[in-house]
Amino acid sequence: MMTNKKVVLGITGGIAAYKAAELVRLLVKAGVDVQVVMTEAACQFITPVTMQALSGKPVFTGMWDSSIANGMPHIELSRQADAILIAPASADFLAKLVHGRADDLLSTLCLARDCPLLVAPAMNKQMWENPATQRNIAQLIDDGITILGPDSGEQACGEIGLGRMLEAEQLLAELNAFFTPKLLSGKRLLITAGATLEMIDPVRAITNLSSGKMGYALAKVAVDMGATVTLISGATSINPPPNVFNIIATSADNMYQAVMKNIAMQDIFIGVAAVADYAPIETSTKKIKKSEHSLTLHLTKTKDILADVASLPNPPFCVGFAAESEDLIEYASQKRIAKKLPLIIANEAISALGNDDNQVTLIDENGTHALSRAPKTEVAQLILTHIASMHISRLS
């Protein structure tokens, strides 16, 4: 979402200025055109030379730069930008923004801007908690300025608490979310993800190789697109994305009950979880001891979550996933028709499970739409854009 975006990165005085170097590197890697502007105090913590080397552009530090043709960098820089991000934003600079002060290039640039402004506060915990700072933050929010963070943790002064600037990776994710079109604004999504565990005894289970990465990517991107997301997750080692309502459901039956309990009022249901088709009829309360004889398991078929949701009297827009090891398009198409789904996502099981990237084919009533292999977050963006388009067209 950030490719070819133009961002002015403002750096103010604070020890967190060192994080700006990594942020510039990540932004440039993501295809962002970064123009760095530094205050005089920022230059005491990290040099303009470093920022120039990482951004590939001269760094602006003063009002009177002759390289700008009309001598007005505070106007020219803001007119070319899609957004201005101040990271770190010191307590002093936040106060400047509130009162409209314009006594250096960066503050003047912010006052003269005609693009969105985002700030990432960074300061000692007492400075952050001070009533004056909190009043300033409230006023900035009222003024339409986006506040990113701060985080809590150990600070340079040795104290622990709120005030740490978000890490570069977090700021990158926040900026990407900011630029993501809000195609799902006001929509409620329920997504299942991960593998289920069907217990044989207290230490053994029937499961599969699903990592949950695709479902979690869809949940994160859906939030970025403005949706309210409920994520029902089976077994996975991934931390849930921020700003989602996360429910843990370890077995197929647990997941079925959780979905049915939360499906009411949902606009869209996406069944990504690799739910076991069969579960042991009986589960031993004690570990089954190894013997010379073979072990026979008696299995029963589990409930079909996707089919039952799609069969509700007023079902949400239902999207399924089909992971196959052969005849992918044929089997996925049959599954879509049998379960009466408007859309199914077909992916090759062996290459998709557990990996960070994926290659999928979207199958709907208009045919197939093959997507190129890409990181699962990018695949999620394309899938959700297609879902948003189909859902809107069905409502109109």
Q: Catalytic residues, which ones?
A: 157
Query: Cα separation of 66 and 280, whole Å?
Result: 76
Instruction: Give me the residue label for tokens 């010379």.
Output: 292
CB 358 within 8 A of CB 382: no
Query: Cα separation of 114 and 92, whole Å?
Result: 23
CB 37 within 8 A of CB 109: yes
Query: H helices within the chain, ranges in order?
Result: 17-29, 48-55, 73-79, 91-99, 105-111, 125-129, 131-142, 168-179, 213-224, 252-262, 305-310, 328-338, 349-352, 376-395
Query: Cα separation of 209 and 203, whole Å?
Result: 18
Query: Cα separation of 99 and 112, whole Å?
Result: 14
Provide CB contacts within 8 A for 390, sequence distance 6+.
317, 342, 343, 364
CB 121 within 8 A of CB 155: no
Question: Position 11: which residue type?
Answer: I
Three-class SS state of 51: helix
Three-class SS state of 25: helix
